[in-house]
Amino acid sequence: MQTNTLSTADYIAIEDQYGAHNYHPLDVVIQRGEGVWVYDVEGNRYLDCLSAYSALNQGHVHPKILEALVTQARQLTLTSRAFRNEQLPLLYKELSELTGYEMSLPMNSGVEAVETALKLARKWAYQVKGVPRHKAEIITVEGNFHGRTISVISFSTEPLYKDDFGPFTPGFITVPYGDAQAIRQAITPNTAAVMIEPIQGEAGVIMPPEGYLRQVREICSENNVLMIADEIQTGLGRTGKLFACQHEDVRPDITVIGKALSGGFYPVSAVLADRDVLGLFRPGEHGSTFGGSPLGAAVARAALRVIVEENLIENAVKMGEYLMDQLAEIPSPHIKEVRGKGLLIGVELKPEAGGARRFCEALQKKGILAKETHENVIRFAPPLIIDRETLDWAVPRIREVLLEA
Ligand SMILES: *Cc1c(COP(=O)(O)O)cnc(C)c1O
C-alpha cells in the first residue's frame, strides 16, 4: 500500500490549477484498480460501473494483460512501421481469426481509427466506385459520437462538441438515427459510406429500432455504399456479442474497434475490413508512428485472449440480463426507462428528476462509480468479468439511491 501525503482535495486543487478543464469528473481520485474495483487515495473502495467507457471490459490491471505488457516492454516497445516486428503479424492473424475480417489496420486512439475508416471509404469511392475525385459523401447520423478530431466533430450534432471549433471538414451528411429510409433518401451517386454506432453509447445508450441495422446493411448493399460500424464502445463483448451488429446478423464492410482492444493498458485501435477494401491503401498514404507497435500488438493479443478464454461475451449476456432485470424492478418515480444490451445499460431519468449527475454523486458515496451521459442518463457498464455476487452487492445500493434521492 502506498501512503499519501496529499488528500483528495489537494489533488483536485492541483488538477484544477494546472490542468485544462475539458472534463467534469466526479471528485474521486483513484489510485489503484483490481478487477471490477478501484480504490481512491483515502483507501475507499468503489465498484467501477463505467469501465473507462468500455475500455476495461477485461477489468482493471488484468494479470494476463499486465504480464504481456511487462514482458513485451522489457523486450521491444517500438520499431515504427519503417521496420517490421514479430508481434504485429500475429495480432493481424488473431484479429482475423476472431472477427472474420480478412485484414486490419492498427492505430492508437479510437478517433484515429475512425479517421482511418473515413479515409479508406473515400479512397474506395474514388478507386472502386468511380466517384469524381474529392466529391465523396459520407452519411452519418444524429446523436453520433465518433471522437474529437476536427473532421469527426464536423458531423457531430452536439453543439458543445463543435460550437467553437469550426471551420469544419465538408463531405458529411447527417440524417436521423434509427430511420433507415432517411439513409436511403440521402444516398447520391457520390455516397461512399454510411457510418453508424449500433448502439449510441455517448448519446445516452440510444438503441435503434429492431431491424434498423439489417435495413442499413441492405440499403448499403443495394446502392454500392460501404457500411461502417463504429464498435469502439459496443464491440469486443460489451453488448453480449463480439460485435453489437451481430445481434442482427449484420456484417458491416468496415468495423472500427478500440477501447477494450487493449484492456485499458495502452491505446490500441484498429480498422477491420476485407481485402477488397482495406487492400486499397498503398505505402505512404496513411500511417502512425505508434500504430502497430510491438508493445501495442502484444497487449492487444493478450486482451483478445482474455475475452475469449474467460468467456466474457457469455458473461456479458448473463450478467447483463440479470442487472437489467434488477434495475427495471426498481420502483423509482425518477426512472423513465431502463434500456440496453448485455452490460451496456442506460437508466434514463425523467427530466424533473433534476439530472443524472446528483444520482452519480450519491452512488459514489455508496461505493459505486457511474457517470451521467448527457443530462438524464446514468450508464451502467461494469467490466465484463463482473459476477452475480458483486451485482447483488451493487443493486441494493443503486436501488437506495434511485429511491431516496
Ligand atoms: C470512445 C469512442 C470513440 C473515440 O475513441 P477515443 O479513443 O477516445 O479517440 C469513438 N467512437 C465511439 C463509439 C466511442 O465510444
Task: Please indicate whether residue 230 is annotated as part of the active site.
Answer: yes
Asked, for residue 341, whether it belongs to a domain, the answer is no
What would the DSSP string read from start to end of 122-144? Answer: HHHIIIII-PPTT--EEEEETT-
Asked, for residue 50, whether it belongs to a domain, the answer is no
d(C-alpha 312, C-alpha 191), whole Å: 37
Asked, for residue 108, whether it belongs to a domain, the answer is yes
- pTM (two decimals): 0.97
- Is the Cβ atom of 231 under 6 angstroms away from ligand 1? no
Asked, for residue 377, whether it belongs to a domain, the answer is no
d(C-alpha 209, C-alpha 213), whole Å: 9
- Is the Cβ atom of 53 under 6 angstroms away from ligand 1? yes
SS3 string, 34-73, reads: EECEEEECCCCEEEECCHHHHCCCCCECCHHHHHHHHHHH
The number of domains in the chain is 1
Asked whether the CA dihedral 297, 105, 145, 99 is positive or negative, the reply is negative
Calculate how far, in angstroms, residue 114's C-alpha sits from the geometric centre of ligand 1. 8
User: Ligand 1, closest atom to CA 202?
Assistant: 15
Calculate how far, in angstroms, residue 331's C-alpha sits from the geometric centre of ligand 1. 33
Residues of the chain short of pLDDT 50, as ranges, are none
**What per-residue confidence (pLDDT) applies to 405?**
67
- Is the Cβ atom of 195 under 6 angstroms away from ligand 1? no
Site to substitute for ligand 1 among 146, 205, 234, 344, most atoms within 8 A of C-beta: 146
Instruction: Report yes or no: 363 and 380 within 8 Å, Cβ to Cβ.
Output: no
Gyration radius of the chain over CA positions = 21
Give the contacts of 33 (CB within 8 A, at least 6 positions apart): 39, 48, 60, 61
Task: Please indicate whether residue 145 is annotated as part of the active site.
Answer: yes
What is the residue range of 243's domain?
81-309
CATH number, domain with residue 289:
3.40.640.10
d(C-alpha 50, C-alpha 335), whole Å: 19
**What per-residue confidence (pLDDT) applies to 358?**
96
Asked, for residue 397, whether it belongs to a domain, the answer is no
| Residue entry with cell 498514404 | 285
Asked, for residue 393, whether it belongs to a domain, the answer is no
Give the contacts of 335 (CB within 8 A, at least 6 positions apart): 347, 348, 349, 350, 402
- Is the Cβ atom of 110 under 6 angstroms away from ligand 1? yes
Asked, for residue 26, whether it belongs to a domain, the answer is no
Calculate how far, in angstroms, residue 113's C-alpha sits from the geometric centre of ligand 1. 9
Neighbours of 50 (CB within 10 A): 19
**What per-residue confidence (pLDDT) applies to 404?**
87
Asked, for residue 181, whether it belongs to a domain, the answer is yes
Quick: pLDDT tens for 336-388: 999 999 999 999 999 999 999 999 999 999 999 999 998 999 999 999 999 99
What would the DSSP string read from start to end of 82-111? Answer: TS--SSHHHHHHHHHHHH--SEEEEESSHH
- Is the Cβ atom of 111 under 6 angstroms away from ligand 1? yes
Peptide bond into 333 cis (omega under 30): no
